[in-house]
Amino acid sequence: MASLIDIRRRLRSVKSTQQITKAMKMVAAAKLRRAQDRVIGARPYAKLLGNVLASVTAHAGEVKQPLLNVREEKRVVVVVVAGDRGLCGAFNTNVHRATTHLLATHPGWTEVRILPVGKKAVDFWKRRKYPFTEKTYSGIFDKLSYENAREIAASLSEEFVAERIDAVYVVVNEFRSVLSQVVHTARILPLSFEPVAAAPKPDVSGPEYIFEPDAKTILARLLPRYLEFTIYRALAESAAAEMGARMTAMGAATKNAGEMIDKLTLTYNRARQARITKELIEIVSGAAALE
């Protein structure tokens, strides 16, 4: 049996760990509220933007837009959206596992590059054989802004229009609730008006619009905006899902630490009682021997 000193040292260590996990849970809960509000606010806008684009496309007729060109997929960029930190359960692992599955199920892709978003994605795929894009995005979730999505969308659309790549896929954790984060894989280029996260599909039979100057010009202006917002929504979904996963993981860790503290306290009390009993027996035995 471990000595009393060892048990006390273990108790102090577990209590210190419990304080850390409890604090991390509270911080994640505070950040989750803001991230969740951002995601909930983005979903109606995404639905409305999809409806408008569906209507504009229907009125524009056959129009050649570079971002809509479907080609045979040979050169592909995969945007992997993970977190900047760990201690969030299987959040990062699930994204990497889904990305690996995506690459394994498309042997026809002759040239694949990874665009990692988040420090964990950068570190993980740096150890793999797949090459990166020119720029990676690490540490952007602390101050996530629309400019991040705009920069990513600009670089991807430039390569797609120049026909240096044939398609772009994104692998991201979709926020469902604090306890539920689902990995979602979608093709974002060429554009098909399908949002990254689950949402109602655009309603083509919606209200009629009057276009000024004309549907083709409006479509050319809206398509880059749609791509930017699709990427921004993916980043926002991932940020909220990460906070939810971390809150759940740290809550479970705090609970487990409490159970371990109870067991160690019981073990300590038993060991202390046994030591006191032994000392009393020695004292009584010594007193009896002197009689």
Catalytic residue ranges? 88
Instruction: Quickly count: other Cβ atoms within 10 Å of residue 23's Cβ.
Output: 12
- For 42, the 3-state DSSP assignment is helix
Residue 204 neighbours by CB under 8 Å, 6+ apart: 54, 55, 58
| SS3 at position 181 | strand
Cα 188 to Cα 84, 91, 141, 226, 227: the distances in Å are 23, 22, 21, 10, 7
Query: What tokens appear for 3 in the block?
Result: 């000595």
How far apart CA 225 and CA 191 sit, in angstroms, is: 11
Q: Are the C-beta atoms of 257 and 18 separated by less than 8 Å?
A: yes
| Helical residues (DSSP H) of the chain, grouped into ranges | 4-60, 91-104, 119-126, 146-161, 215-290
d(CA 170, CA 11): 45
Q: Give residue 241's Cα distance to chain centre.
A: 5
Of 265, 269, 254, give the one whose Cα is nearest residue 16: 254
